[in-house]
Amino acid sequence: MTPFESSGGVRTPRYEETITWLRDLAAASPLLEYSTFGTSPEGRALPLVVADRRGRFTAEAQADRGPGHAVLLVQACIHAGESCGKDAGMVLLRDLATDRDLAERLLRNVTLVFIPILNVDGHERFSPYGRINQNGPVEMGWRVNAANLNLNRDHLKADTVEMRAWLALFRAWLPDFFVDIHSTDGADYQYAVTYSLETHGNLEAGVTAWTRRYEEGMTSAMAEQGWPVFPYVTLKNWGDPNSGLVTWAATPRFSQGYAALQNRPGLLVEAHMLKDYATRVEGVDRLLRHTLDWLGDEAASLRAAVTAADAFTAGPGFRAQPLALDFALTDSVRTIEFLGVGASEQIGAVSGGRWFRFDGGPRTIRLPMQDRLAPSVTADLPEAYLVPAAWAEAVERLEAHGVVSGRLSAAVTLPVRSWRLTDPKWQERPYEGRHPVTYTAEPIEETRTYPAGTVVVDLRRRDARVAAHLLEPGGPDALVRWGLFDAAFERVEYVESYVIEEMIPQLLTEHPEWEAELAARKAASPEFAADPWAIRMWFYQRTPWWDARAGVYPVGCLDDRETVDRLDAEASRQAGRVRLRP
């Protein structure tokens, strides 16, 4: 029995108990192998269990797995207080190890790669008080890691040790289907399991079509087994169950959004936090078994879909069309039937605030739902990006994602497309250890010199979506938004009043038209007219001493394929240099 089962379904095991149990299970079964894929900041190994009927337990052994065999990556405890995925996975692995018929059916064309605990340090912040909204287990871990960072906001910026290890694992295995298991917050309702799939336009079209077929099969099978499921519930007005439901396309800071950039279906599982713990574990277990069974039948079609998506993304047709970077809800609303719980409106006796008590029992409710999205931000992709090596923190992230194609072997001067970032505003309170910045991105074209060592990111690659989201300033999780290019906004040279005041008369003599421009500026802004320093800066900006590079995004876009290929050829002739193409 698993520790969860031995407790009568109320307890989840600690880290050491979990990995000891999994090691023992793997040692007893030829179908399983236990290993690790990294070490946390507090020194804990990141555990991994692989289930395969043919004994192919490494990414290298699976690299040529063929068109009829799929790899399923399942992770649990990225939010370590939401542990039902870990316990469901342990039950599933035990049954695969002890039931030959089950293993032959569920692993017939599938290899299961299971991460029982991703946030291992947060997992050991263990207490009964991990999640105030959650009904069990009796003790649990914590949402964030030891540095107070949320790993499920880190998939693109990759600040954490744990996420960089995960990215290396993902690149090595390149799974065909991905599952990330959580527990919800939010309202009360009848569903024990909700889910989210990226079918809103942020996933390649062929893989989207395959994912919709999976969704239809999964929801039907779960309902037939007495486990109706529903898309992850997001109330239009938080806390108000009568306000209706909305959906969203996951940005790549989230696991399922990142999987979409990799041309892979990503299933977010959200077990309902108010159901008892045993029910949540069982619901997740059933969903995993159905998914394995479905993939057994559809491994070939999935492999064909993701292989075609990879080939398309690496080809010229992908770069020839605008890439949707972000999405927004349309005005389209439909009415759906929802297995809800009756709620009564209350006014807090002390707070005076409006809230809802879920006290009406199960009922089917007709609710408005907005689930149609359209692109809200798009980008015209280049053939390649140039990133100066001086921006080392950004380059480290590009390397963590594996999108660096090579480096310039000598300085080059050439025309590029880029942006001037104006009106920057940093978030006052920290978010995920950073102060994200917003700005206006004004397109520019200019000739630049990029020194030797400049990183080249050639978009002729299967993971071009990842590279574009990292470097396009319009991306919702672009590195520049997370502050990795903050120094580009700074102006570090200044002018003394006695210097510019002496220059102003001469400047007006040389540029008499400025007098009318200055008068118009003063008339338009009394604040400007009354501010001597603002007037001095107005003149300073018009001198050659003004720093014209402040606010200029250092990343350049190359739109000419021949130029990229020429740089590739030149780099390849340099001894010890890496070719630009992967």
In the chain, the percentage of residues whose pLDDT exceeds 90 is 94
Q: Are 227 and 286 in contact (CB under 8 A)?
A: yes
- Exposure string of 105-116, with b = 16+ CB inside 10 Å and e = fewer, is ebbebbbbbbbb
Q: Give the pLDDT of residue 70.
A: 98
Beta strands in 141-216, from DSSP E residues, in sequence order: 177-183, 193-197
Backbone angles phi, psi at 282, to 5 degrees: -65, -40
Residues of the chain with CATH 3.40.630.10: 3-313
As a whole number of angstroms, the longest Cα–Cα distance in the chain is 92
pLDDT at 61 over 90: yes
DSSP-H helix ranges across 401-542:
464-471, 497-510, 513-524, 526-529, 532-540
Determine the distance from the C-alpha atom of residue 190 to the mean position of all C-alpha atoms in its chain, rounded to a whole number: 29
In the predicted structure, residue 259 carries a pLDDT above the cut 50: yes
**Cβ atoms within 10 A of the Cβ of 533, count?**
11
* Gap between the Cα atoms of 429 and 412, Å rounded: 41
CB-facing half-sphere around the CA of 251: CA atoms within 13 A: 18
Is residue 575 pLDDT above 50, yes or no?
no
At 18-56, the pLDDT tens digits run: 999 999 999 999 999 999 999 999 999 999 999 999 999
pLDDT in tens, 448-497: 999 999 999 999 999 999 999 999 999 999 999 999 999 999 988 889 99
CA distances from 431 to 145, 153, 424, 426 (A): 14, 10, 17, 11
Residue carrying structure tokens 């338009």: 524
pLDDT of residue 573: 60
- Report helix, strand or coil for 545: coil
pLDDT at 572: 60
Under 8 Å between Cβ of 213 and 302? no
* Euclidean distance between CA atoms 292 and 295, whole angstroms: 5
SS3 242: coil
Given this model, what pLDDT does residue 238 score? Answer: 84
CB atoms within 10 A of CB 423: 9
For residue 384, the cross-strand partners are: 458, 558
Cβ within 8 Å of residue 119, ≥6 positions away:
77, 78, 79, 80, 141, 142, 144, 145, 151, 162
Rounded to whole angstroms, the Cα distance separating 385 from 484 reads: 16
Is the preceding peptide bond at 554 cis, omega within 30 degrees of 0? no
* Per-residue model confidence (pLDDT) at position 319: 98
User: Which pLDDT tens digit goes with each residue over 402-429?
Assistant: 999 999 999 999 999 999 999 999 999 9
Contact 518, 535 (CB under 8 A): yes
What does the pLDDT read at residue 581?
A: 44
**End-to-end CA distance of the chain, in Å?**
47
Cα–Cα dist 362/358, whole Å = 10
What does the pLDDT read at residue 459?
A: 97
Burial class (CB in 10 A: 0-12, 13-18, 19+), 237: exposed
CATH superfamily membership of 3-313: Zn peptidases (3.40.630.10)
Q: What is the pLDDT of residue 331?
A: 95
d(CA 137, CA 13): 10
Average pLDDT value over all residues in the chain:
96
Q: What is the reported pLDDT for 503?
A: 96
pLDDT tens digits for range 377-408: 999 999 999 999 999 999 999 999 999 999 99
List, for residues 193-216, the tens digit of each pLDDT value.
999 999 999 999 999 999 999 999
Coil vs helix vs strand at 345: strand
- Any idea which residue has 């009318």 for tokens? 516
pLDDT tens readout for residues 76-99: 999 999 999 999 999 999 999 999
> pLDDT value at position 577?
45
Q: Please give the single-letter amino acid code of residue 582.
A: P
Does position 255 have pLDDT exceeding 90, yes or no?
yes
pLDDT class of 582 with cuts at 50, 70, 90: very low
In the sheet that holds 362-370, the strands lie side by side as: 245-246, 362-370, 334-341
Rg (CA), the chain: 27
How many whole angstroms separate alpha carbon 362 and alpha carbon 340? Answer: 6
